[in-house]
């Protein structure tokens, strides 16, 4: 075997090894690229799972929070329009403040009358109205608070028994703190001609209910 043949043999071996190394490098890069893509996908999945876990934890906290608020709402806002109970509470509040009431009245009842038919509209159109019949009579829906209604109650103080302004203010404060009649909407005050330190009055209050 001459030296030229040995050279070509060695050159072939070296070239083969070089191509093999190049192929190994290319294959390795491809495998590393696939591994990197897989690792990135796993990281994204992990991030999504973390965000979902965070959202779930927040949702659970919100449920606990609003469940407590719902309990408070049920405790604060009566679930019935028991007029007899409302009258008893108002009369007691008046008595505690040294006030005699001569009249307590409610709006005319629509019980037994035909309820208005709801008007169906497309919510996306932004036009038209939907009339919903309240679950009980004599009430009005509260704007912005679904399911909550107000019952108007008209109060007339005994004009033969005028009261001082301080007693009147105390009566107003007690009414607004009461869980049933929590908002005074109309006040009419008349000074007593015989004693300017005393007044007579009439009120309109709103009883909040959530049937």
Stretch 132-136: mean pLDDT: 56
* 65 compared with 123, residue with greater pLDDT: 65
For the chain, what percent of residues have pLDDT higher than 90? 19
pLDDT digits (tens, 9 = 90+) for 59-106: 777 666 656 555 544 544 455 556 788 888 889 999 999 999 999 888
pLDDT of residue 1: 56
This prediction's pTM: 0.51
- Reported as a single tens digit per residue, the pLDDT across 166-194 is 999 999 988 888 766 668 889 999 998 88
Nearest to 100 by CA among 165, 181, 154, 168: 168
Contact indicator for 144, 189 with CB cutoff of 8 Å: no
* Mean of all residue pLDDT scores within the chain: 75
pLDDT band at residue 132 under the 50/70/90 scheme: low
Query: Is the pLDDT assigned to residue 139 strictly greater than 80?
Result: no
Q: What share of the chain is helix, strand, coil (3-state, %, to 5)?
A: 50, 20, 30
* pLDDT band, residue 108 (cuts 50/70/90): confident
Paired tokens of 175: 């009414």
Domain ranges of the chain: 1-76, 83-116+128-209
* Confidence check: pLDDT of 118 > 60: no
Q: In 142-164, which positions are buried (b, 16+ CB within 10 angstroms) versus exposed (e)?
A: beeeeebbbbbbebebeeeebbe
User: What are the CA-CA distances from residue 124 to residues 119, 127, 200 (Å)?
Assistant: 15, 8, 52
Q: What is the DSSP letter of 142?
A: P
Looking at residue 158, what is its pLDDT?
92
How sure is the predictor about 162, in pLDDT bands with cuts at 50, 70 and 90? very high
pLDDT of residue 133: 55
Q: Does domain 83-116+128-209 fall into CATH 3.30.70.60?
A: yes
Please tell me the predicted confidence (pLDDT) of residue 100.
92
Distance CA 69, CA 75 (A): 10
């Amino acid at each position: 075997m001459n030296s030229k043949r040995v050279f070509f043999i060695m050159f072939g071996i070296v070239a083969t090894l070089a191509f093999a190394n190049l192929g190994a490098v290319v294959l390795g890069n491809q495998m590393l690229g696939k591994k990197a893509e897989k690792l990135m996908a796993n990281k994204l999945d992990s991030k999504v799972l973390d965000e979902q876990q965070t959202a779930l934890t927040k949702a659970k906290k919100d449920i606990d929070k609003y469940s407590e608020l719902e309990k408070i709402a049920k405790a604060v806002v009566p679930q019935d329009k028991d007029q007899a109970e409302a009258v008893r509470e108002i009369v007691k509040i008046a008595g505690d403040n040294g006030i005699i009431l001569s009249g307590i009245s409610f709006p005319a009842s629509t019980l037994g009358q035909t309820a208005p038919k709801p008007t169906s509209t497309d919510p996306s159109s932004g036009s038209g109205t939907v009339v919903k019949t309240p679950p009980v009579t004599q009430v009005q829906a509260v704007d912005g608070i679904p399911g909550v209604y107000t019952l108007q109650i008209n109060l007339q103080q005994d004009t033969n028994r005028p009261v001082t302004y301080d007693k009147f203010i105390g009566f107003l404060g007690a009414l607004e703190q009461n869980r049933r009649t929590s908002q005074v909407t109309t006040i009419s005050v008349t000074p007593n001609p015989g004693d300017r330190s005393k007044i007579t009055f009439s009120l309109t209050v709103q009883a909040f209910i959530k049937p």
